[in-house]
Amino acid sequence: MFGSAVPSSVAPMTLRTAYTLPEGVMKGTTTVGLVCKDGVVLGTERRATYYGGFIASKTAQKLFRIDDRIGATIAGGVGDAQSLIRTLRAEAALYRLRRTAPMTVEGATTLLSNILNGNRYFPYYVGMLVGGVDGNGHHLYSLDADGGAISDKFGSMGSGSTIAYGLLEEAYEDSLTLSEGADVALRALTAAMKRDANSGNGYLLATISEKEFHEHSEEEIKRRLGKLKIPVP
């Protein structure tokens, strides 16, 4: 789900819930995350659509580096998601300056959870995955618009998530390496793009290990797709 101005015909915010998107807000996405034995994989596709099915963007940025070893994916209103990403990046940088140590994945997730929960009556229209590596291990959290945070081995957000989950459930194993996890993420995104009209137009992929946050280039992704025998979009 990705925002534009809300039409005057939309009911007052007090009559809406955190899951009722107003007309005119861009929507449609599939994001995935996996915890692997040597790190975390985050992936998204690149399409954003307006209410009614119009493709608003074919190059939407839905995967972000938050700190050296923490990343996040977004689904929801563009303005809301971008605002949260800017806040989280700033807080992570301030934490590092004040404490001369990086923020933990749990700390970043808790901060986001508190912001979302504190605004649940005037909600941010977002669903996010936050993943990364810290001194406590490898972590992935999913967050909803009410601020609920769930830790899991793998997760998906967005309109194509129900399709992606089918493949993730089948293919996920605790023993996956980052490389194997990256392939699973691409397969899950591909499955979603084949059946969800609001998902498509390419891939974004990042692998996070103790050594680095690696954002895969288009060429790297194309090579992986070729080995998986997935047509390059």
Of the two residues 176 and 49, the one the predictor is more confident about is 176
Helices 78-99 and 105-118: angle between axes, nearest 10 degrees: 130
Active centre residues (catalytic): 29
Average pLDDT, stretch 176-196?
97
Q: What is the pTM of this model?
A: 0.88
- pLDDT at position 27 is 55
- pLDDT at position 77 is 86
Query: What pLDDT, in 10s, does the model give residues 1-52?
Result: 443 333 333 333 344 444 455 544 445 699 999 999 999 999 999 998 887 6
| Rounded CA separation 31/17 (Å) | 23
Which helix (H) or strand (E) is 134 found in, with range? strand 126-134
Domains and CATH numbers, the chain: 27-227 (3.60.20.10)
Residue 155 CA, distance from chain mean position: 9
Q: Which of 29, 77, 20, 81 is nearest to 55 (CA)?
A: 29
Q: Which of 178, 189, 170, 187 is nearest to 214 (CA)?
A: 178
Q: Is 25:51 a contact under the CB 8 Å cutoff?
A: yes
Of the two residues 204 and 10, the one the predictor is more confident about is 204
Of the two residues 22 and 159, the one the predictor is more confident about is 159
